Chain A
Amino acid sequence: MFRKILIANRGEIALRILRACRAVGAEAVIAYSEADRDSLPVQLADEAICIGPADARRSYLSAPAVISAALVAGCDAIHPGYGFLSEDEGFAEVVAAHDLAFIGPSAAVLERFASKAGTRQLMATHGLPTIPGSEGMLRDELHALGEAERIGYPVLIKPSAGGGGKGMRMVRTGRELESSLRVCRSEAKAAFGDDSLYLEKWLDENRHVEIQVAIDRYGHGIHLGERDCSVQRRHQKILEEAPTPALSDAAGPISPRVP
């Protein structure tokens, strides 16, 4: 078990990790930016270390600052929480290179799931059902129009590097698709630094039900049950409900098969 854990996050996320540290008897060091100097996690942690100014790019998103803080504080692990550097495979790799444990998926796993289009492909090769969509990334307008025609309108334009609902547009016609492509590209570029887009069939009457799965490095897996996240605003979850009212009992108890 870890002796001393650096928490590289803030707010409610940091508090949860802090509580987990207490539960497993590990010391908790919070890395904070100047904007969070007086925050609750900073007050409650065993140690606090300022890693940068309020600008997240120079604090919570700065891999060197976070790792340097872990080293000078004598930590043996970094917990990135979620958001910020938590899904950055480069960060996970550098953390490991400094003989620190990255509490999260390995760099290889993060890399595999970084691209939504790649993830779709991976699932399809394992025989899992996916929503009909474009083959690979959209190369140009012509390719997009052809793929949309094949899938059938309405379709959803999605950034491959996306998250948080940014850069997504539902279009019902070819004309709408043409005018939306450019906007989506620039939004994706600005938000994720990557303007790769792909198409998915738009499902009008849908529900968003997800199952979270955690697997350790020995291959032991657990699932955390299903949750219904259908109540959204601008593609951002507002409410999560469990169990979901959408699945009938016939669907049975959830028993995920881990490949």
Chain B
Amino acid sequence: MPKAIQPDGRHAERSAAERSADHAAIDRLSAELLPALIAKLGATGLGELEVREGAWRVRLRRPGTAATNPASRDRRPGDRERAARSGSGSSPAHAGVGLTAVGPGRDGREIRDGRDGAAAVDEHDRRRIVASSPAVGIFQPRPEARAGTKVRAGDRLGSVDMLGIPQEVVAPSDGIVGASLVESGDAVEYGQELILIEFASATPSET
């Protein structure tokens, strides 16, 4: 595994205080910043994302960015989701710059259907968790479930009104409510991606 996060060059002869400061920073990064960045990268479709803070620099990149078809962004939401799921399982760790995924559920939560292994898709993308529409109708978010709210799998995030009958939109897994991909009152179709679920904070044992 390449080192994902590096302090600028200085490796040797550091004081205990410096080291513990580094560890604290690593903990903070993995717990707070990385899940948010991963979600952001997944949501925006950007190829690369870099954040600098003091002596630290974090860069996330999709390994297959150049190779994967950019036109796939223009397809239906369902198509994109499917393309994202059908990862090749290629190593996400590109020497020096690739970030290995940090966060809980690294093994259990990936949604795979393995229908075709052609597209090189980043591990982060496959781990994208989205609450999708249970019906065709008009979407109404639940005010209590605004972005940043912690939710458990099965919690209600809103509803889709199908001929006056509200169909519940539920969180597919534990996490934090992220960006909404549709507006309140929007017409949505069955299976359409509605709300991103960002991962809950990482446990230190996994970093």
Interface positions of A (Cβ within 8 A of B): 31, 34, 37, 48-53, 59, 64-65, 67-69, 71-73, 98
Contacts of B165 in A (CB 8 A): 64
Contacts A64-B163, A65-B162 known; A50 to B191 CB distance under 8 Å? yes
Do B163 and A68 touch across chains, with their CB atoms under 8 A apart? yes
With A37-B78, A64-B162, A65-B162 as contacts: A49 and B191 at CB distance below 8 Å: no
Chain B residues, CB < 8 A from A69: 136, 189
The interface residues of chain A, by DSSP majority, are classed as mixed
Q: How far is the CB of A7 from chain B (nearest CB, A)?
A: 14
Contact of A72 among B78, B79, B136, B191 (CB under 8 A): B136
Interface, chain B (partner A; CB < 8 A)? 76, 78-79, 135-138, 162-163, 165, 187-192
Whether B162 contacts A68 by the Cβ 8 Å rule is yes
Question: B191 contacts A34, CB within 8 Å?
Answer: yes
Supposing A49-B189, A51-B189 touch, asked if A72 and B137 sit within 8 A by C-beta, the answer is yes
**How far is A68 from B188 in the complex, measured between Cα atoms in Å?**
10
Contact B78 A68 (CB under 8 A): no
B191 engages A68 (CB within 8 Å): no
Q: B192 contacts which of A31, A50, A53 (Cβ < 8 Å)?
A: A50
Point out the residue from B76, B138, B190 that lies within 8 Å of A51, measured CB to CB. B190
Chain B residues positioned under 8 Å from A53 (CB to CB): 190-191
Q: Within the assembled complex, what's the spacing in Å between the Cα atoms of A71 and B138?
A: 10
CB neighbours of A98 from chain B (8 A): 163
Bound CA span A69–B191, Å: 13
Q: Of B136, B138, B162, B187, which is within 8 A of A50 by CB?
A: B136
**What 3 pairs across the A-B complex have the smallest Cβ distances?**
A72-B187, A50-B189, A68-B162
